[in-house]
Structure 1
């Protein structure tokens, strides 16, 4: 497995390196593929919850507990998700209640084999999201769900038609989830719409269809790879929609809908761009500590052992 040293360059040109974080113990029941396919992370108190889009039979959420400057495996939570692929992509945490939310991608896919493009196929198993209570001592309450966004997506005049499009071809692909003010905010890797507009769908747990609202932001043609809350908004990890070579960036978003302001209006605030990625694909972003406009964040990447965890200090100007 390739070793990489990521670099984050701020808009002022200052380049910084992340500090490696040690994850010890057996993750994802020791299965090798999920350990190099980490897809989401978030934290509550002394604990982290991480997911892999390759973990199935059963589908579990891995818990880790703070251990000095690192984290140690502290058990897992099995989801009532069936044996098929859930494609877990994101973790959101309501820190006020200690409730952890996880979501599947809700995407369709297309295989390319032996020079032949296959059909676009969806899976009900990917169209699920769940929640459970994570107590301060690490004990876990009963898992609730599954629930789904399919009806809310189908009913939306913009997002509905993208349900039949393969995810890496700019179809529906949810990869971010953040909880703020009692609402779940689902960030879309795709579609990225004309004008580079990216949707964020928010809803309540109790009424995903009736409460659904969609806001739009622009990330320079990138989609959302993860989404996490801070006091006055959200941090966004952004990257390419498909298999292109677009860069990965971190933005601050104030949570408002930017579409009414038009293409010459407000955009999320760029905080930094990653380089020297090698095999790493940044997929998970969690805020470990925030002091004013400075954020101590944890980054996990697809393609690296245990997500190649690194810690970064990011300051908004």
Structure 2
């Protein structure tokens, strides 16, 4: 039986404006010390839970991203945060950058249902790659976000929140992808249709690795690599990584799966991978050895990836539920997985949910 850990959320902080509970849409997870940072895909906040004496996580605190960044849309529309990472006193976060196709509604007429399937929507706040200063309290061990704060390692130097240049319909990253030979044909396709869709971020020093749920090219998934740097105006730009472009593409044969989450341990990268389309299917965790050891683009064949664990997913009566979205390392032998759309068996009471603990197989 899979070991599980309870995550407890505050009833005062857990509902968005549409009444959706934060536990019902968890999209990424990051453990820093005793703090478990989580995001829900239909909010403008990120959540902090703290490890309690019994091993569960609680003491829920919520941080509104509007307090730290100048988001493209001022109507408090969702950010769809799909990845978080930490390095050099900065919390990095990334939105999905994806388009959405409307769903048919059963109570509508057939012509109206067909028409809805033709409509594609863009959420302005999804186009975000940003960093926010984060410091650990030496007394309590708790991590807290700041809009601007002095660097504890470099007195007199200020850390400040920043984001990649962008607007309500794009940013620097999507502008580059619209010119890319592999990705450009998928930029106007919704994420759930195998279009461009970010799900996962990991940080190694100044290098940011971005996992793509889509597109998947003949079974091959992609990881983008960039190195953001701050310009004179405080806006993030992308460092030129070669004579031709400011990013690298790494191709991984996950046999049709897209990437749901990335985590780095030492030189290795752990990948949570599952269906790119909106369907039930195998979700598994892979290890990519020496992923960050080098500065060249890589093509990684399936037999060069270690398939570590299969993750439970909904099927049958639970179709569309228990979709593994977030992965974080508890220690060098255990990983924590959180789920979008949890089943009734995974929810506890009105405000708690169970996350799975999986062992790292050597």
Normalised TM-score (structure 2): 0.73
Give distance in 1, aligned partners of 2:283 and 2:313.
Answer: 11
1:130 maps to 130
* Structure 1 residue 24 displacement after superposition: 4.2
- 1:243 is paired with a residue whose SS is coil
Matches within 5 A, 1:221-236: 221-236=256-271
> What do you get for the CA RMSD once the two structures are aligned?
2.3
Give distance in 2, aligned partners of 1:40 and 1:87.
Answer: 10
Query: Which of 54, 59, 65 is the matching residue for 2:50?
Result: 65
Query: Which of 201, 209, 220 is the matching residue for 2:224?
Result: 201
Give distance in 2, aligned partners of 1:54 and 1:313.
Answer: 27
Matches within 5 A, 1:239-278: 239-254=274-289, 255=291, 257-259=297-299, 266-275=303-312, 277=314, 278=318
Q: Which has the larger radius of gyration?
A: 2
- 2:176 is paired with a residue whose SS is helix
- Cα pair distance change 1:34/1:156, threshold 3 Å: farther
1:166 maps to 190
2:324 maps to 282
- Cα pair distance change 1:172/1:209, threshold 3 Å: farther
The number of aligned residues is: 289
Give distance in 1, aligned partners of 2:32 and 2:273.
Answer: 23
Equivalent pair of 2:212/2:221 in contact (CA under 8 Å): yes
* Structure 1 residue 313 displacement after superposition: 3.9
* Structure 1 residue 268 displacement after superposition: 1.7
- Specify which structure has the bigger relative contact order, considering alpha-carbon pairs within 8 angstroms and separated by 6 or more residues: 1
* Structure 1 residue 311 displacement after superposition: 4.2
Bigger Cα displacement from structure 2, 26-35 vs 205-214: 26-35
* Structure 1 residue 308 displacement after superposition: 3.3
1:42 maps to 30
- 2:287 is paired with a residue whose SS is strand
Matches within 5 A, 1:29-108: 29-31=14-16, 32-35=19-22, 36-55=24-43, 59-68=44-53, 69-72=55-58, 73-79=60-66, 80=69, 81=71, 82=74, 83-94=76-87, 97-108=88-99
Equivalent pair of 1:258/1:266 in contact (CA under 8 Å): no
1:22 maps to 7
1:299 maps to 337
Give distance in 2, aligned partners of 1:20 and 1:64.
Answer: 12
* Structure 1 residue 198 displacement after superposition: 0.7
1:11 maps to none
- CA deviations 1:41-95 (Å, max 9, x no partner) are 112222122111111xxx111122222212221342423323233221121222x
Equivalent pair of 1:112/1:118 in contact (CA under 8 Å): no
Equivalent pair of 2:28/2:338 in contact (CA under 8 Å): yes
Structure 2, unaligned stretches of length 5 or more?
A: 105-112, 138-142, 148-159, 165-170, 230-236, 241-245
- Cα pair distance change 1:151/1:46, threshold 3 Å: same
* Structure 1 residue 181 displacement after superposition: 3.2
* Structure 1 residue 115 displacement after superposition: 2.8
Equivalent pair of 2:313/2:324 in contact (CA under 8 Å): no
Give distance in 1, aligned partners of 2:3 and 2:85.
Answer: 23
- 2:256 is paired with a residue whose SS is coil
Structure 1's consecutive aligned runs of 4 or more residues displaced over 4 angstroms after TM superposition are 26-29
Normalised TM-score (structure 1): 0.83
Equivalent pair of 2:286/2:307 in contact (CA under 8 Å): yes
Give distance in 2, aligned partners of 1:226 and 1:76.
Answer: 22
